[in-house]
Structure 1
Amino acid sequence: MKQEILVKVEHMNKRFGSTVALKDVSIEVCSGRVLGLIGENGSGKSTVTSIIAGMQNADSGTMTYHDKEWKPGSMLYSLEHGIGMIVQETGTVPGITVAENIFLGETKFFKSFGEKHKWGPVKRKLLNQKAQEALDAIGASHIRAEQMTANLDLQERKLIEIARIMNKHPEVLVVDETTTALSQKGREIIYNIMEQMKKENKAVVFISHDLEEIMEKCDALTVLRDGNIIVTFDKSEFDEDKIKSSMIGRQLEGDYYRSDYDGSCEDEVVLEMKDVNLTGKLIDFNLQLHKGEILGIGGLSHCGMHTLGKVMFGNKKPESGEIRIKGKKLKNEADAMKHMVGYVAKDRDTESLCLNASIKDNIAVGGLDQFTTGGFLIFPWNEKKYVQKQVETLSIKCAGINQYVSALSGGNKQKVVFGKWIGRGSDVLILDCPTRGVDIGVKQAMYQLMYQMKKEGKSIVIISEELTELIGMSDRLMIMKDGKIMHEFPRSESLSEADAIQYMI
C-alpha cells in the first residue's frame, strides 16, 4: 500500500511557565506504519501527542491532517474525526458501569423514546450489548459491560479505555505508555491492534520506555530530549546503544541492575506474614522479610501479588492470619507508617498521589511529624527545607515545589512518591511496580537508590511483572500463582526468566 502523511506537525513550541516542553518540534505520522517516540521523562513525548489528539493547544507551530489545517478543540473532537489517544494513566470514570464508560457522553443515543428526540430512560440492555461487542472486538471478553468500573483493577480499566477508543475505528492511534499498565495478555491486545492498523494502512504513534518493546514493534523511532527532536531512526538503523545515548545525551554510568550476586542479609526479621488468607487473593500465605534484604515478588498480573502489597501495608485487612512489623502486630496503614513502613502503589495517580496538590504537599504529608509540633503547628521554613531536600536528592524536574503534581511527567511523579517515603526515613519499603512508566535514566537511579538503601540496612519488597527487574535486583525471588508462593529462588548469576516463568503459568 502507498504510504501517505496523515498528520504533519511543523515548528511546534510549548511552554509551561518557565519550563520549555517543546522547542521547534516537527513530526510526520505516516499511514501503514508504527512510529515510536522515546525519550526521558519530561522530554516532550506526551506533550506533542496530546496536542495532536486535542488535549491541549500548542503555543505556536502548525498541524495538518490529510493536508488540511488541524486545530482540534478537544479529544472528543479528535476521536470523532479519526485521531484517538490512549493516555498513560487511567482515563475512566470509577462511579459508573463499564458500558457507560465505553459510551461516555453518548448515552443519549440509547434513549427509549425516539431516535430523533433522544429523550427518555436509557435502553440499558442495548447499551450493555453494544459495549460488550466493543470489548469482545479487542479481545477483552472477560470484562462484562454491566460491571461497575470501580470494582476493576488498573489493567481492566485500561482495557475499557482501549475498547472505547477502538469502537470509533480511528485512523491514527496514539498509545501513550499504555503497555506498562498491562499484563502480557493486555499487551498482546495492544500489539494486535497496532498490527491490524498497519494492515489497514492506518497509523500508530507508540510511546514506551521499554526499549526492547519499541524496537520490536516500531517501523521508525523518533528520539526527543528536553523538548527537542534529536534524531529519527528507521528500523534498519535501530541500535540499542545509539538510541540510549541519544535519549540521555550521555553514556549511562555505573551499573544498571546490581552487579553483585551476594544475596545475604541480616537474620533479623522486620516484616512477617503468618497464615494470611484473603478470599480469592491470598491462601495460607507465609513470608519473612529480613533487615537489609531486597525481596522480589513476581507472577502474572492476577496472581495476588498486587493485593499482597496492600495487605503488607495494612491497606487491606486479611480474613485470617496476621502481619507483624518488627515483632508488633500490624493493625492498619497508620500503624505501618508509625513503624516506618512506606508503600508505593502500582496505580500511583489514584493511590499514591494527590494530583491536584503541589509537590510540596505530596512529599510533606509523609513527614509531618518532622516539622510540626504535636502534629498541629507546621513550621513553614522547616517544611520547605524538608521537601526541597527530596527534590534535589531525587533530581525531580519541576518549576518549583509549589507546582502541581498533575503537571509532571510519569517519572517525576514516581520520584515524588519515593520522596514522600524516603524523606521520613522509612526502614521498610513496599514497592509495587516501582519503575512503571519511567525512562531508563530514572530506572537506573531508582535501582541504585534501592541498592544503597539495602547497604544501609533497610528492607525492600519489589512487586513487579518485569522479571528482568526482579532477577536484576532481588536477594531472593518468590514466584506467586493463584494466591500462593509456588517457588523461591536465591540470588544467582545463572537464574533466568525461563526458570521463573515455568512456576507462573
Structure 2
Amino acid sequence: MERELLFEAKKLTKHFGPTVALDNVDFKVYRGEITGLIGENGSGKSTITSIAAGMQPATSGEMFFKGQPHKPSTMIEGAACGIGMIVQEQGTVSGISVAQNIFLGNEKKFTRFGIVNKKAMNAEAKKALDAIGFEGVDPSTPIDSLNMQDRKLVEIAKTVYQQPEMLVVDETTTALSQKGRDIIYGIMKKMKEENKAVVFISHDLEELMVTCDTLTVLRDGELITTLSKKEMNEDDIKKYMVGREMQGDYYRSDYGTPVSDEVVLKMEDVTTGTGMLMNFSMELHKGEILGIGGLSHCGMHELGRALFGEEKILEGKVTDMKTGDEITSPRCALLHGYGYVSKNRDQEALVLAESIKDNILAAGYDKLEKGIYLSPKDCTDYVNKQKEALSIKCYSITQDVQYLSGGNKQKVVFGKWVGRDCDILILDCPTRGVDIGVKAAMYQLIYQMKKQGKSIVIISEELQELIGMSDRLLILKNGNQSGEFFRSEDLSENEIINVMI
C-alpha cells in the first residue's frame, strides 16, 4: 500500500541571530503513521515543528500540507489548517479559567451580541476534557489552581478538540505521570487508526522505538537519517544523535557503598497547606542520594518545595541539622547551602527575559563578592565554567534564556545551583527534556557531588532514573510514605510499582 504524504518541508532553514537552528532540512510526514523526532538539545526538533504549527516563521525554505503551500503566521492559523501542537513548555494562559483556555482565540463560538455565554462554553469544555479521559475537573475553575500536569492535560484537551490532521507532541510525556502518558498514547494510537498523523518528540529512546513507525534523527540543525521500525537500534540511534559512540556508565555502577549515619536534613510530621503531604517525616544523610517517587498527586513535588521552604507548612517543621535552624523560606534555605531545581522551570526557576549569564549568576553573587567589589572577569569565568561543563548550546552567555531549547534551559537551571557548590541539592525532575548525552553528564556530576559529601534529593517520575541513581528510595502515595527501598542490583520496577498503586 502506497504511503500518502501529508506534510513536507523542503530546505527549511531557521536562524536565531548567528545561531543556525535548522540548516536546509527536508522532512516528511505520512498519513497513518507516528513519526518520531529525536536529537540532542538544540538539534532543531522543536524548531521545525513549531514552524510547521505557525509558532514562528522560517528564515527560508518551503512547506506543503495536504499538497498545498503551507505558511501559517500564527498557531491559530496553523490549527485552522489542520496542525495542532502540544508544546514542551507551559501552553496555558494564567488568569483565566480552564474553559477559557480551551477556547482561547475561539470565543466567538459562544459569543452573541458581544456577550460570551460562559455556561455553554463550560459545557463544551467539559466535553473536551471528558473526550481525552480527564474527568472530575470543573471547567470554570481558574487555571492557576491546577498543578503543572493538570494544566498540560487541559492543553492536550484543547488541541485534540480542534481535531487536527497532524498532531505534534513535543516532549509532553516528561511532564506527565503514567496516567497522563496513557492518555497521550491513546490519542496518538487513535489518530493513526483514523489515517491522520503524529509527530512525536521525545528523549526517551524506548518510548520512541515502541511507539513510532519511523524515526528521524536531527543533529546540529541537520537531518542525519530517517529509520523505519525494523531499522531502529538503540546503539545506532545514540551514535546518530551525538556523532560518536557513547562512552562510560549511564547511571551509577556501584553497589554496597555505605552511606553516612550523619543526618543533615530532617522533616518532622509535616502537613502542607495544599494537603498534599500529611504528617510526613523523613531524613536525608550526608553523602546520600535520596530518590523520591510516586504517581501524580502523591505529594512528591510538594515535598521538594517544602524542603526548600517554598511550600506553606501548616504543621511540623524542616530542620537543618548542622545548625539546628528551621528552614522557613527559600532565602533561609539558600543561606544554609541549599539549592532547588524546580520541575516548573519557566515559572519558578528562570527569568526568561534575562541572559544565561544573569540566570546562572543569580544564585552565585554572594560566592563571588569580595567585600563590596564584584569582578566582571570572575563573573564571566563562573558562568563559562557551567556553560562548558553542561555543554549549554548558545551563541553567547549574554543570549536571553527564552531563546534556548527546553533542554538547554534545564542545563542553565542545573548550572545555577551546581555553580553555587550547594551542600544540599533538591532536584525535581532534573533531567526533564534533556537528551541522553547530557543526562549521562548530569548523572556523573550528581555522583561526583555525592562522593564529595554533598547530599542530594532526586524527585522523579522516571523509575529507571531513581533505581539507577539512588542510595535509598522513598515512594509516596496520598501524601504518605508507602514504601522504602535500598540500592540493589536486584531492585525492579515491579517491586516499586506495587507500593505506588
In 2, distance between residues paired with 1:175 and 1:185?
Answer: 16
Work out which of the residue numbers 154, 157, 162 in structure 2 matches 1:163.
Answer: 157
8 Å CA contact retained: 1:263, 1:474? no
Q: Secondary structure at the match of 1:71?
A: coil
What's the CA shift for 1:51? 0.9
Give the structure 1 partner of residue 126 of structure 2.
132
1:240 and 2:234 correspond: yes
Cα separation, 2, equivalents of 1:263 and 1:79: 54
Residues in 2 aligned to 1:3 and 1:134: alpha-carbon distance in whole angstroms:
31
**Cα offsets for 1:136-170 (capped at 9, x unmatched):** 11111132211110011111111111111111110
Aligned to 1:198: 192
Partner in structure 2 of residue 183 of structure 1 = 177
Query: What letter corresponds to residue 496 of structure 1 in structure 2?
Result: S
Is the contact between residue 143 and residue 156 of structure 1 (CA under 8 Å) also seen in structure 2?
Answer: no
Q: Deviations over 1:404-448 (max 9, x none)?
A: 111111221111111111111101000011111111101101100
* Other-structure match for 1:269: 263
1:227 aligns with: 221
TM-superposed CA distance for 1:377, in Å, is: 6.0
Q: Which of 232, 244, 250 pairs up with 2:244?
A: 250
Q: How far does residue 263 in structure 1 lie from its aligned partner after superposition?
A: 4.1
Cα pair 1:34 1:204 within 8 Å, conserved: yes
Q: 1:313 is matched with which residue?
A: 308
State the alpha-carbon separation in 2 of the partners of residues 3 and 191 from structure 1. 22
The aligned residue for residue 108 of structure 2 is 108
Distance in 1, Cα, partners of 2:4 & 2:479: 50
TM normalised by structure 1 equals 0.96
Give the structure 2 partner of residue 489 of structure 1. Answer: 485
Post-superposition CA distance 1:371-408 (Å, at most 9, x none): 3466x764433322221222122221111111011111
Letter in 2 for 1:354: V
**Aligned ranges for residues 100-499 of structure 1 at < 5 Å?**
100-113=100-113, 119=114, 121-278=115-272, 280-325=275-320, 326=322, 327-372=324-369, 378-499=374-495
Q: Deviation of residue 329 (structure 1)? A: 1.2
Partner Cα distance (2:152, 2:329) in 1: 29
**Which moved further from structure 2: 19-28 or 445-454?**
19-28
Rounded Cα–Cα distance in structure 2 between residues aligned with 1:305 and 1:249? 37
The sequence identity of aligned pairs, in percent, is: 59
CA RMSD of aligned residues (A): 1.3
- Tell which deviates more after alignment, 383-392 or 424-433: 383-392
Deviations along 1:106-136, whole A, 9 cap, x unmatched? Answer: 22332243xxxxx1x3211111001111111
Q: 2:257, 2:436 → 1: CA distance? A: 24
Partner Cα distance (2:233, 2:389) in 1: 32
Distance in 1, Cα, partners of 2:38 & 2:389: 25
State the alpha-carbon separation in 1 of the partners of residues 157 and 3 from structure 2. 27
Instruction: From the superposition, tell whether residues 470 and 499 of structure 1 become closer, same or farther in structure 2 (CA, over 3 Å).
Output: same
Cα distance in 2 between the residues matched to 1:493 and 1:156: 35
Distance 1:399 1:377 in 2: 28
- For 1:450 and 1:203, the matched residues in 2 are separated by 39
Instruction: Tell me which amino acid in the other structure corresponds to 1:316.
Output: E
Q: Distance in 2 between matches of 1:247 and 1:142?
A: 41
Three-state SS of the structure 2 residue aligned to 1:264 is: coil
Instruction: Report the counterpart of residue 93 of structure 2 in structure 1.
Output: 93
> Hey, what's the Cα distance between the residues in 1 that align with 2:39 and 2:349?
24
Query: Equivalents in 2 of 1:112, 1:15: separation in Å?
Result: 43
Does 1:3 pair with 2:3? yes
CA 498–263 in structure 1, closer or farther in 2 if over 3 Å, else same: farther
Q: Deviations over 1:343-390 (max 9, x none)?
A: 00111111111111110110111011123466x764433322221222
Alpha-carbon distance in 2 for matches of 1:100, 1:339: 43
Q: Counterpart of 2:16? A: 16
Displaced runs of 4 or more, over 6 A: none
Name the aligned partner's letter for residue 151 of structure 1: S
CA contact (8 A) 2:390 2:438 kept: no
Quick one: distance in 2 between partners of 1:420 and 1:238? 36
Name the amino acid aligned to 2:420: R
AA paired with 1:362?
N
Residue 21 of structure 1: SS of its match in structure 2?
strand
User: The residue matched to 1:271 in structure 2 has which SS?
Assistant: strand
Give SS of 1:319's match.
Answer: strand
Match of 1:116 in 2: none
Give 1:2 shift: 5.7
**Following the alignment from structure 2 to structure 1, what is the Cα–Cα distance between the partners of residues 362 and 228?**
46
Q: CA deviation at 1:241?
A: 1.0
Cα distance in 2 for partners of 1:288, 1:226 equals 43
CA distance in 2, matches of 1:330, 1:58: 49
- Whole-Å separation in 1 of the counterparts to 2:258 and 2:408: 32
CA distance in 2, matches of 1:167, 1:252: 41
Q: Is the 8 A contact 2:167 2:198 kept in 1?
A: yes
Q: What CA distance in whole angstroms lies between the structure 1 residues aligned with 2:376 and 2:234? A: 46
1:265-293 per-residue CA deviation (whole Å, 9 max, x = no partner) reads: 22221110111112521122111101100
Per the normalisation by structure 2, the TM-score is: 0.97
Unaligned runs of 5+ in 1: 114-118
